[in-house]
A = this chain, B = another copy of it.
Amino acid sequence: MSKPLSSREVRLSRRPARMPEAEDFDLAEVTVAAPEEGQIRVRNVCMSVDPYMRGRMRALKSYIEPFALDEPLEGDAVGIVIDSRHPDFSPGDTVRSNLGWREAWTADAGVATRVDPELAPLPAYLGVMGLTGLTAYVGLLDIAGVKEGETVFVSGAAGAVGSVVCQIARLKGCRVIGSAGSPEKTAWLKELGVDEAIDYKRVDRLSAAVADAAPDGIDVYFDNVGGDHLEVALQHMNDFGRIAACGMISVYNDRVPPAGPRNLINIVAKRLQVRGFIAFDHLDRSEDFMRDMSRWLAEGRVHSRQTVVEGIERAPEAFIGLFSGENIGKMVVRLAEEKTVQDRVLQGRG
C-alpha cells in the first residue's frame, strides 16, 4: 500500500507552568505520506512517556532542544514497518524510534533501529530492554561502579529505571534498599527481591527508616528523586560512597525549584562522588546491555512490569500520571494491537 494514511499526534500547545495539565496538549490528525526513496512508513504499537520529557517542555535549552510548540512531541516508540523504500527494512519489521506521541510516521530509515520481537515483547523495548534499562545498567555499573557486597539505596525504586536498578544490584550481590510511594509498590519490590522496601509516604521520618534499613550505611545511592531523598542519602552515605544522579523528579514541576539539601557538606566530609549522567551519552554500552539484559530476562532473573494506558488520546494523562506516581514499572501508552497491525501488513493493508 502506498496511499496516504491518517494518524493522530499529540502536540504541545503551551508550556506547563508547574504540574502539566491536559490543556497543555492538543491532539491533531495529520496525513502520513507514502515513503519516498530511502524512507519507511511505520505504525507505532506503543510509546513511552518519561519524566525527562518535562524538562523539554520548558523553553530553556538543556541537554536537548526544548519541544517546539504546536509540533508533535517526541519520545521512544516501537512500531511495525508498513511500507519500505529502504533495502534494510521490510513490511512487518519491528523498529524502535524517537518518533513517539503519534500513531504513524514516515521518515528516513536511519531514524529507526530494528528490535527483535522474539527476544522480548515490544513494550519491553521502551523499558527494561530500552533506554530505561540502559539507564539503570550504565548508572549502576559504570557511573556508580557498584561492587558485590555493597549496600545500594534506590529512590523511585518501583519506577521504570528504579525497578531495574534494584534487580541488577541484587544480581551483583548487593544489599538493596528501595523507596517507593505506595504499599502496592513496596509489595512488588519485595517480590523482586529488594531487601528493604520503604513506603516513604507512610514513614514518619524517611531518615530513620533508611537508617534502620541500612545499619552499615549506604555505599551507592541511585537518585531518581532529588530533594529530601537526596538529603537523607547524604546523611547515611559511607565514606567514599558514590551517587549516580539520574533524575530529580521531585523538582521537575517547580517554576522556582525548592532549595536543595542542607547537608551537602557531606560530599566533602565523606569524600563522596556525585555524577550526573544521561543514557544517550552511553550508547556504546548498548551491545553489552542488550546481551546481559536479554539473558537475565530469559533466565527469569529480571522481571519487568508496565503500567499500560490505552490510546494516543490518553498519552498526556499517562505523562501527567508520572508525577503523581501512577505507574508501577514502566509507563507505556499502547497505540495499536501488534497482531492487528501485523495482520493488516500481511493482507497488504498496512
Please provide the chain A residues from 252 to 288 with a CB less than 8 Å away from any CB of chain B in the complex: 252, 256-278, 281
Q: Closest Cβ of chain B: how far from A223's Cβ, in Å?
A: 8
Contact B268 A278 (CB under 8 A): yes
From B246, B251, B260, B269, A55 is in contact (CB under 8 Å) with B269
Q: How far is the CA of A35 from the CA of B55 in the complex (A)?
A: 67
Q: How far is the CA of A63 from the CA of B268 in the complex (A)?
A: 9
Nearest B residue to A60 via CB reads B269
Q: How far is the CA of A245 from the CA of B269 in the complex (A)?
A: 10
Contact B226 A264 (CB under 8 A): yes
Contact B62 A264 (CB under 8 A): no
Contact A63 B269 (CB under 8 A): yes
From B239, B257, B276, A263 is in contact (CB under 8 Å) with B257
Nearest B residue to A247 via CB reads B268
Per assembly, the copies of the chain total 2
Interface size for chain A: under 10, 10 to 19, 20 to 34, or 35 or more residues? 35 or more
Contact A262 B268 (CB under 8 A): no
Contact A245 B259 (CB under 8 A): no
Q: Closest Cβ of chain B: how far from A187's Cβ, in Å?
A: 29
From B260, B268, B276, A272 is in contact (CB under 8 Å) with B276
From B55, B62, B252, B268, A276 is in contact (CB under 8 Å) with B268
From B248, B265, B278, A264 is in contact (CB under 8 Å) with B248
Q: Binding site of A, secondary structure by majority: helix, strand, loop or mixed? A: loop
Contact B260 A264 (CB under 8 A): yes
Contacts of A277 in B (CB 8 A): 268, 271
Known: A273-B275, A274-B273, A275-B273. A248 touches B268 (CB 8 A): yes
Contact B271 A281 (CB under 8 A): yes
Q: How far is the CA of A248 from the CA of B261 in the complex (A)?
A: 14
Q: Residue-by-residue, is A27-63 near B (CB-CB < 8 Å gives 1, otherwise 0)?
A: 0000000000000000000000000000100000011
Contact A248 B265 (CB under 8 A): yes
Contacts of A267 in B (CB 8 A): 245, 274-276
Q: How far is the CA of A118 from the CA of B113 in the complex (A)?
A: 67
Known: A259-B262, A262-B259. A273 touches B271 (CB 8 A): no
Contact B260 A261 (CB under 8 A): yes
Q: How far is the CA of A266 from the CA of B276 in the complex (A)?
A: 8
Q: How far is the CA of A270 from the CA of B245 in the complex (A)?
A: 11
Q: Closest Cβ of chain B: how far from A20's Cβ, in Å?
A: 17
Residue of A230, A265, A273 most packed against chain B (CB within 10 A): A265
Q: How far is the CA of A258 from the CA of B264 in the complex (A)?
A: 10
- Lowest 6 CB-CB distances: which A-B pairs, in order? A260-B260, A259-B259, A267-B276, A268-B276, A274-B274, A257-B262
Chain A positions near chain B (C-beta within 8 angstroms): 55, 62-63, 226, 230, 239, 245-248, 251-252, 256-278, 281
A-B contact pairs, 12 of them (CB 8 A): A63-B239, A230-B264, A245-B264, A245-B268, A246-B268, A248-B265, A251-B264, A269-B278, A271-B276, A271-B277, A272-B275, A273-B273
